[in-house]
Structures are given as C-alpha cells and as structure tokens.
C-alpha cells in the first residue's frame, strides 16, 4: 500500500514537473541577467534534456531553490522528468550505440527503443544484455504489424520517429522476443539477450561477415573498449578459426605478434553467436529457422545448427578451430584483461565460458567494466566532453560502483553524473 501511495505521489510530481517544463514561457524583459546559480540550474537542465531552456522558465527557480539547499539530485530529477530527457538525450546516446558507424544520424530502431524503455522504467540496465523483451509504440500512421514492420523491417520505429511520437510516454514493454519464420509467422527467440538480439544490433553486425563483429561491438558499446585495447597475443589460440591465415605474407611472426592478439579473445567469444545470422530483413537462428541454402527465412547452417559463415574459408588454415556448437570461452582472463574487465559470476566457471548469447551477455553485464562504461557513456552524453579515463580512473570506478548501488538504474546514473563537479565545470 505504501508503495502504491509513494508511486502515485512520484508520478504526480513527475507529471507536474513535465507540465511545468512544457508550459509556455513569457520572457520578463525587465529582469536582470541570470545569476551564476540560475546559469548552473539552466546548464544542468539543458544538458540532461538536450534542449535549450529560456531564462525565465519557472523550472529554473525550482531548481535553484533545491541547489541552494544542496539538493543536487533533486534539481537533476526536475530535468529528467522532462520528456526530452528520454526523447533526446537518452535516444541520441543509444542511436550512437546502435550502428556500425556509431553515428546519431540513423533512424530510431528497436535497440534504441529498448534502451529508452529500460531507462524510463528504471529496470536493471544489465537487462540490456540479458533480457527477453522489446519495446513498441503506437500512433496514427504508425505501422504495427509484428512480422512486416518490426521483425522484418524497421518500419514501425521509423514511423514512430517520423510522426514525432513522444517516446517517453508512448513506448510499451513487450515480454518475449520473437523471430520471424515466414512473412506471417514467428516463434519465440530461443536465446534472447536484450538488445544484443535486437534487429538493429544484429543488422549492424551479423550481416554477412563471420559474426566476429558482434563480439567486437558488444565490447565496444558496452565495455567502451576497442578490440585493439583488449587484444592479447599471450592468450590461447585454440579457438581461432580456419579462415585466419597463420602465415600472412608468409610470415608466421606477423600472425603471432599482430593477428593473434585480436583473434584469441574475439574468436574465443565468437561461438556465442554460432546459431545467428541476419539476411538484410530480419534475424535468423539455426535452431528455429529452416536450414538450407541462404534465402528468405531459410538459414545456411550445418547439422549442428552452426551457421555456415562461422566455418567458411576453411582451407586458409585447415588445422584451425572448427565450430561445432554455440559454446564460448573467455580468453580475456590474463592479468591485464582480468583487472581491466573485473569479471564477476555466481561461479568462477561462469566467467570462463558458457553457451549462447545470453550467457555471453550476462558475463559482460556483470563485469565491473560494464558499469564503468555506462558511466563513461553517460558522462559524454550529458557533460558533452570525453572523460580522461587514465587521469580519472578512480572516479570512473566510483561512478560505476554508485551506478551498481542504485540497482543499475540508468536514469539515476544520469542524475548523478550531471551534477558532478567534473561535469558542471
């Protein structure tokens, strides 16, 4: 009962704040220039909502009153109640994470909708890599056919954007990800892993190639580390595929000192995506889609449900690893990578290997680096500058720990980071 009352009060306050934020503002032409505290409040608001705020907006006075009391979090909450916090700031951060080019000039998609939804609903952000859900919207002129407009095209999300729907209010969470098996039928996703198994992420990284990009970009987007920085030439090369030349330009040393470093760690994790493919329309999984030659709704895979592309170019180095299932091994466990990622699992075995995308997502989401990466992303998103992670290593760890202590709530992380001295100065 107390929870319901508290929720209603919170919703009521949020509603009032939203109305205030959207109210018509009449400038006071006789007023003096804003004070330093007015400017501080305005800056917090503008950075959190991604939009400008008039000097005479009534929310500034409210935020200043809280700032004068030292209630920085309260002031930030006024800003995050504005729909533009989700519609602009969180959306732009997510857009950048959803494409290979990491550009914000890309249409709204299911991955972005998922990140906005998880932020709005204040659920555990680790769900982004492990959950079995997706978010949809509605509105006039928004196409909503599950197969045609969501699973096999981006029509639904493009329509939500082009009709300027208020995503903060419009998105609805749907439990249970789906995979299309024909133009009109679909089945439950056998290995759902949050946005890792979204159409946008798979479309960006599972299209053609050898599914290595899925590993590279999972770490790039959710651990904030490019492959070159976690490559390890000293790790085991047992999992490196047959398509990787061990004698590039007839020089084995080149493989040992260069190629091997990336492939030890990347190919170790690659097995997680052994069942997956993307054909330009939708996701395909060898355990549910018809196997055969690559065509619409048919997936090119072998009898072990391993997609053909995982073992292709097998004559380059025939003694290389042959993938026979969707298990993965964590080769990023030598000292440098172990201290960088700080893997955590309920059992030590959980951090060493697993099966499928969800277990891989769980490993990444539970690492301490994931929390720090989210803090780093939020810092860039709201403070509009790159954090010098070498000079601020301890701060980043602290912010990551605070994020975890909040229950991995992205909204809280925004409110926390936006009011940090490092952000405001």
Partner 1 sequence: MTNKYLKIMLVLVPSMAVALFGFNNCGRYGALQDSGSSDSSSLGSSSADEVNSEKLGLPYALLSAEQTLSSMLKLGNVTTASTAVINEYNSRYGSLAAGNDLSMVNGPLMLGSTSLAGEVCNSVVAQERAITDVTQRNFFGSINFATGVAGISDENFEAAVRGMARQFWGRNENMDELTMLKQYKTEFSDALAANVRTQTASASNLMLATCAAMLSAVDAISY
Residues 160-177 as b/e (b if ≥16 CB within 10 A, e otherwise) read bbeeebebbebbebeeeb
Element (H, E) at 156: helix 155-162
377 belongs to the binding site for partner 1 (CB under 8 A): yes
32 belongs to the binding site for partner 1 (CB under 8 A): yes
> What residues from 133 to 172 belong to the interface with partner 1 (CB under 8 A)?
164
Residue 316: CB partners within 8 Å, gap ≥ 6?
Answer: 242, 243, 244, 245
**Contact assessment for residue 85 and residue 55, using Cβ atoms and an 8 Å cutoff:** no
Q: Cβ closer to partner 1: 386 or 394? A: 386
**At closest approach, how far in Å is the CB of 269 from partner 1?**
18
How far is residue 247 CA from its own chain's centroid?
Answer: 37
**Contact assessment for residue 329 and residue 310, using Cβ atoms and an 8 Å cutoff:** no
71 belongs to the binding site for partner 1 (CB under 8 A): no
- Contacts with partner 1: how many residues (CB under 8 A)? 53
Give just the sign of the alpha carbon dihedral 277, 283, 286, 290. negative
52 belongs to the binding site for partner 1 (CB under 8 A): yes
Element (H, E) at 185: none
**At closest approach, how far in Å is the CB of 59 from partner 1?**
12
> What residues from 200 to 219 belong to the interface with partner 1 (CB under 8 A)?
none
106 belongs to the binding site for partner 1 (CB under 8 A): yes
366 belongs to the binding site for partner 1 (CB under 8 A): no
51 belongs to the binding site for partner 1 (CB under 8 A): yes
Q: Kindly indicate which of the ranges 24-32, 65-73, 284-292, 311-319 contains the residues binding partner 1, using the contact rule CB under 8 A.
A: 24-32
266 belongs to the binding site for partner 1 (CB under 8 A): no
412 belongs to the binding site for partner 1 (CB under 8 A): no
Q: Cβ closer to partner 1: 96 or 191? A: 96
**Full 3-state SS string of 169-183:** HHCEEEECCEEECCC
The residue within the footprint of partner 1, chosen from 102, 121, 350, 401 (CB under 8 A), is 102
398 belongs to the binding site for partner 1 (CB under 8 A): no
Closest CA to 265 of 305, 300, 235: 235
225 belongs to the binding site for partner 1 (CB under 8 A): yes
CA atoms within 13 A on the CB side of 40: 19
Lookup result for tokens 């329509």: 159
List of residues contacting partner 1 (CB under 8 A): 22, 24-29, 31-34, 39, 42-43, 46-47, 50-56, 84, 87-88, 91-92, 96, 100-107, 164, 220-221, 224-226, 229, 377, 380, 384-386, 388-390, 425
């Amino acid at each position: 009962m107390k929870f319901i009352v508290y929720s209603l009060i919170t919703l009521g306050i949020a509603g009032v704040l939203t109305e205030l934020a959207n109210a018509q503002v009449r400038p006071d032409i006789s007023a003096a220039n804003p004070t330093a505290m007015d400017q501080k409040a305005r800056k917090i608001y503008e950075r959190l909502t991604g939009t400008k705020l008039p000097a005479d907006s009534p929310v500034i006075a409210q935020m200043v009153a809280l700032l004068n009391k030292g209630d920085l979090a309260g002031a930030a909450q006024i800003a995050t109640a504005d729909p533009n916090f989700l519609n602009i700031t969180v959306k732009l951060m997510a857009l950048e994470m959803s494409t290979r080019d990491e550009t914000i000039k890309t249409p709204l998609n299911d991955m972005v909708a998922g990140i906005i939804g998880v932020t709005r609903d204040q659920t555990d952000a680790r769900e982004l890599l492990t959950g079995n859900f997706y978010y949809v919207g509605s509105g006039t002129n928004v196409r909503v056919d599950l197969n045609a407009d969501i699973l096999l095209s981006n029509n639904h999300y493009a329509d939500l954007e082009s009709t300027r729907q208020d995503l903060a209010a419009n998105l609805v969470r749907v439990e249970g990800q789906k995979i299309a098996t024909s133009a009109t039928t679909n089945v439950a996703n056998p290995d759902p892993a949050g946005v890792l198994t979204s159409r946008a992420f798979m479309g960006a990284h599972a299209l053609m190639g050898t599914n290595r990009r899925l590993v590279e970009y999972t770490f790039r987007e959710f651990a904030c580390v490019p492959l070159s920085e976690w490559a390890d030439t000293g790790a085991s090369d047992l999992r490196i595929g047959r398509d990787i030349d061990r004698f590039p330009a007839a020089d084995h040393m080149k493989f040992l000192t260069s190629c091997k470093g990336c492939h030890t760690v990347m190919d170790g994790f690659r097995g997680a995506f052994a069942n997956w493919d993307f054909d330009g329309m939708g996701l395909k999984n060898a355990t549910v889609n018809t196997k055969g030659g690559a065509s619409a709704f048919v997936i090119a895979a072998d009898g072990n449900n391993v997609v053909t592309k995982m073992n292709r170019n097998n004559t380059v180095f025939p003694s290389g690893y042959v993938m026979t299932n969707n298990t993965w091994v964590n080769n990023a466990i030598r000292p440098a990578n172990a201290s960088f990622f700080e893997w955590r699992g309920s059992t030590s075995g959980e951090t060493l290997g697993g099966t499928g995308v969800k277990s891989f997502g769980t490993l990444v989401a539970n690492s301490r680096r994931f929390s720090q990466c989210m803090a780093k992303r939020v810092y860039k998103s709201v403070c509009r500058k790159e954090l010098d992670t070498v000079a601020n290593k301890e701060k980043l760890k602290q912010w990551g720990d605070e994020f975890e202590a909040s229950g991995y709530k992205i909204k809280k992380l925004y409110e926390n980071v936006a009011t940090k001295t490092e952000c405001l100065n």
